[in-house]
């Protein structure tokens, strides 16, 4: 009896301890296992076509209130409409700021797994699927996200002449031609007459890019065709879904797919702002109106066994980068993912520079976020260490600590330092955060058929890129950093690129080498060294022509060894004489190309 009692007592203590350890800062739970809530208990029924936004909101409120650790969905389609979605003004780096309607609004939510169990989340209209802000320990798994009407539009090229191009717009991309302008719509009939205050909801478009319909990738060596600040295109309806785009200078191959890119990046799939420990496992992003996953000022992000891939026979998955990370810390892990057909790079990991526009007082400068899609990126905080960088040479010439910050508006901030402004600080110089730069591990991913580049490595933490396969129309790997156009802080310090396969890259116009190490250095090239300590080894380079494998500009420390070149006939020759290696203004570069034949 006594022994049994003691055992029971020990058991009770164990259970209590376990419960407490799960509950953390929440009220103590009586259940010893993580508390699970089921979305079906909140009125969300799959495949019924009815808006599930309110069910999500109630379930998330309950997760928070009850300290639930997991929200479980089920296999089937959930539908989400803007009407009841919550709303917040969001600044999203490299995407478009604005007042967003958010479905999974995870602001300040912690310790939660959302397990889709195979659910398909279908978004209808201008909606932001997931927004995290100050969120911690969040895991997403086993679901997909898609939109019923994509933010881009696809059409088949029927022919062209000097004055325009005829296309047939594919179904599921509704449109109208109104008074000489082609506008993409949601296909719903418009209500009421047009008035001085009419606002129809169109899926604005402002650029075009041709894709090879058979190969399902950007057509060989095509260029983006950009318009200036428009929603739609000068056009005439030819009948049915056939439209003449009345724009001189368009060309393309008959039968190829013309993609009309959106004029905004309003709704990235997942936005992670000022969050920590965010995990993605087996999540598929079929579409988003912007990037797939955007992390900013966040710590520890893991994306494993996920896919960015188009659905329903579409050419395009997300309309911008698959993933993108700005001023992040901790560890960024991208493993075992497929990133295909997104309308921009697979990833870009960088910091942000502001520009000095005025020396206001002995200790104070006025700085500006210059790039429009960085507006509102308020990263400076008292106590933060900053580097001061000469704008034209990109040389870091001093460091300071922030004492005070006075935000004027989304572009302009007054910053007071802990010490006098250095005498050599000039208007036009750049300032960025010195931080515990993230460690990057990118392994076993497939990147293919997207627009532009594969991966942009611009983080000063240890960066390892291994066992990936790239088939990119531009550079497979790009290093950059400048303070005159993108204002992205880069400059690797310890970067290893090994055991990757580069399969017939550079079939497009976005880059001059398969591994392209650039920097926006316009002055003092002789001494400015921006990227450092890059090891490129044991990779296989499949090339269809004598392409440049490596371009290195203003690099200090680069080793190229034991890489293999395989020649293919995958594309026509470029007709250009390309050097295998370009090395300009570099120190300590060793190139051993004995296997390159």
DSSP state, residue 106 = -
- Smaller CB distance to its own copies: residue 26 or 124? 124
Report helix, strand and coil shares of the chain as percent, to nearest 5.
5, 45, 50
Least distance in angstroms from the C-beta of 321 to its own copies: 10
- Smaller CB distance to its own copies: residue 94 or 504? 94
- Smaller CB distance to its own copies: residue 278 or 316? 316
- Smaller CB distance to its own copies: residue 120 or 273? 273
- Smaller CB distance to its own copies: residue 190 or 312? 190
- Smaller CB distance to its own copies: residue 208 or 380? 208
What is d(CA 413, CA 392) in angstroms, rounded to the nearest whole number? 22
Q: Assess contact for 184 and 229: CB atoms under 8 A.
A: no
Structure tokens at 418: 């802990």
- Smaller CB distance to its own copies: residue 69 or 100? 100
Least distance in angstroms from the C-beta of 354 to its own copies: 14
- Smaller CB distance to its own copies: residue 141 or 344? 344
CA distances from 14 to 1, 20, 36 (A): 20, 10, 21
Residue 404, H or E segment: strand 396-407
Structure tokens at 435: 């931080």
What is d(CA 374, CA 23) in angstroms, rounded to the nearest whole number? 37
What is d(CA 164, CA 238) in angstroms, rounded to the nearest whole number? 13
- Smaller CB distance to its own copies: residue 248 or 382? 248
- Smaller CB distance to its own copies: residue 208 or 476? 208
Report which of 326, 435, 433, 437 is spatially closest to residue 386, judged by C-alpha positions: 433
DSSP state, residue 215 = T
Q: Which residue has the tokens 């920590």?
A: 276
Least distance in angstroms from the C-beta of 402 to its own copies: 20
Least distance in angstroms from the C-beta of 47 to its own copies: 23
Least distance in angstroms from the C-beta of 484 to its own copies: 9
Map residue 15 onto helix, strand or coil.
helix
Structure tokens at 252: 């393309």
What is d(CA 536, CA 500) in angstroms, rounded to the nearest whole number? 10
Instruction: Tally Cβ neighbours within 10 Å of residue 352.
Output: 24
Least distance in angstroms from the C-beta of 134 to its own copies: 20
Strands 329-335 and 299-304: parallel
Residues 6 or more apart in contact with residue 99 via CB below 8 angstroms: 87, 88, 89, 90
Residues 6 or more apart in contact with residue 562 via CB below 8 angstroms: 537, 538, 592, 595
Least distance in angstroms from the C-beta of 155 to its own copies: 17
Least distance in angstroms from the C-beta of 515 to its own copies: 22
- Smaller CB distance to its own copies: residue 74 or 186? 186
Least distance in angstroms from the C-beta of 99 to its own copies: 7
Report which of 557, 305, 284, 333 is spatially closest to residue 466, judged by C-alpha positions: 333
**Residues 102, 106, 109, CA angle at the centre, nearest 5°?**
165
DSSP string of 446-461?
Answer: EEES-SS-SEEE--SS
Residue 206, H or E segment: strand 205-212
Q: Which residue has the tokens 């997760």?
A: 63
Least distance in angstroms from the C-beta of 411 to its own copies: 7
Least distance in angstroms from the C-beta of 6 to its own copies: 52
Binding site for its own copies (CB under 8 A): 83-87, 89, 94, 97, 99, 101, 176, 178-181, 183, 190, 192, 194-202, 204, 207, 224, 226-235, 246-249, 261, 265, 320, 343-344, 371-373, 408-412, 485
Q: Assess contact for 534 and 563: CB atoms under 8 A.
A: no
Least distance in angstroms from the C-beta of 592 to its own copies: 37
Map residue 252 onto helix, strand or coil.
coil
Map residue 487 onto helix, strand or coil.
coil
What is d(CA 293, CA 268) in angstroms, rounded to the nearest whole number? 7
- Smaller CB distance to its own copies: residue 102 or 334? 102
Report which of 42, 38, 65, 56 is spatially closest to residue 130, judged by C-alpha positions: 56
- Smaller CB distance to its own copies: residue 365 or 552? 365
- Smaller CB distance to its own copies: residue 9 or 485? 485
Least distance in angstroms from the C-beta of 425 to its own copies: 20
Least distance in angstroms from the C-beta of 234 to its own copies: 4
Backbone angles phi, psi at 126, to 5 degrees: -85, 90
Report which of 288, 306, 347 is spatially closest to residue 131, judged by C-alpha positions: 288
């Amino acid at each position: 009896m006594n022994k049994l009692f003691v055992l029971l007592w020990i058991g009770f203590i164990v259970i209590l301890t376990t419960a407490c350890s799960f509950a953390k800062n929440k009220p103590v739970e009586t259940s010893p296992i993580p508390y699970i809530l089921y979305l079906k208990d909140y009125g969300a029924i799959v495949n019924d076509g009815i808006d599930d936004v309110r069910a999500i909101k109630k379930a998330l409120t309950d997760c928070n209130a009850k300290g639930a650790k997991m929200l479980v969905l089920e296999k089937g389609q959930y539908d989400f409409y803007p009407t009841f979605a919550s709303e917040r003004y969001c600044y999203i780096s490299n995407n478009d700021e604005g007042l967003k309607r958010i479905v999974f609004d995870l602001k300040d939510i912690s310790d939660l797994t959302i397990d889709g169990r195979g659910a398909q989340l279908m978004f209808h209209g201008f909606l932001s699927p997931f927004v995290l802000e100050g969120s911690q320990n969040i895991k997403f798994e086993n679901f997909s996200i898609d939109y019923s009407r994509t933010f881009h539009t696809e059409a088949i090229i029927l022919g062209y002449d000097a004055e325009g191009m005829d296309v047939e717009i594919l179904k599921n991309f509704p449109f109208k031609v109104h008074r000489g302008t082609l506008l993409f719509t949601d296909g719903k009939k418009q209500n009421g007459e047009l008035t001085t205050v009419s606002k129809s909801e169109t899926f604005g478009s402002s650029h075009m890019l041709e894709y090879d319909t058979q190969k399902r990738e950007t057509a060989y060596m095509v260029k983006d065709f950009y318009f200036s600040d428009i929603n739609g295109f000068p056009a005439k309806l030819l009948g049915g879904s056939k439209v003449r785009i009345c724009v001189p200078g368009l060309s393309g191959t008959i039968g190829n797919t013309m993609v009309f890119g959106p004029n905004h990046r309003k709704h990235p799939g997942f936005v992670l702002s000022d969050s920590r420990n965010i995990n993605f496992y087996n999540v598929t992003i079929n579409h988003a109106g912007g990037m797939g996953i955007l992390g900013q000022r966040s710590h520890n992000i893991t994306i494993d066994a996920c896919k960015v891939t188009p659905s329903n026979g579409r050419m395009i998955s997300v309309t911008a980068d698959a993933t993108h990370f700005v001023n992040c810390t901790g560890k960024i892990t991208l493993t075992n993912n497929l990133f295909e057909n997104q309308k921009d790079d697979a990833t870009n990991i960088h910091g942000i520079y502001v520009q000095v526009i005025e020396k206001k007082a002995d200790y104070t400068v006025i700085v500006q976020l210059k790039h429009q899609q960085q507006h509102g990126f308020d990263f400076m905080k008292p106590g933060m260490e900053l580097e001061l960088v000469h704008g034209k040479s990109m040389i870091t010439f001093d460091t300071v600590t922030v004492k005070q910050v006075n935000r004027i508006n989304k572009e302009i901030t007054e910053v007071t330092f802990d010490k006098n402004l250095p005498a050599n600080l000039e208007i036009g110089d750049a300032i960025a955060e010195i931080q515990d730069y993230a460690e990057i591990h990118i392994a076993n991913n497939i990147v293919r058929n997207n627009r532009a580049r594969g991966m942009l490595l611009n983080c000063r933490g240890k960066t390892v890129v291994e066992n990936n396969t790239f088939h990119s129309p531009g550079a497979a790997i790009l290093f950059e950093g400048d303070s005159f156009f993108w204002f992205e802080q880069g400059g690797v310090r310890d970067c290893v690129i090994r055991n990757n396969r580069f399969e017939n890259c550079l079939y497009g116009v976005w880059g001059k080498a398969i591994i392209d190490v650039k920097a926006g250095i316009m002055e003092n090239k002789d001494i400015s060294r921006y990227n450092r300590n890059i090891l490129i080894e044991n990779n296989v380079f499949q090339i269809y022509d004598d392409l440049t494998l490596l371009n290195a500009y203003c690099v200090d420390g680069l080793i190229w060894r034991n890489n293999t070149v395989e020649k293919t006939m995958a594309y026509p020759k470029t007709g250009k004489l390309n050097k295998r290696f370009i090395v300009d203004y570099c120190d300590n570069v060793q190139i051993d190309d004995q296997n390159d034949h």
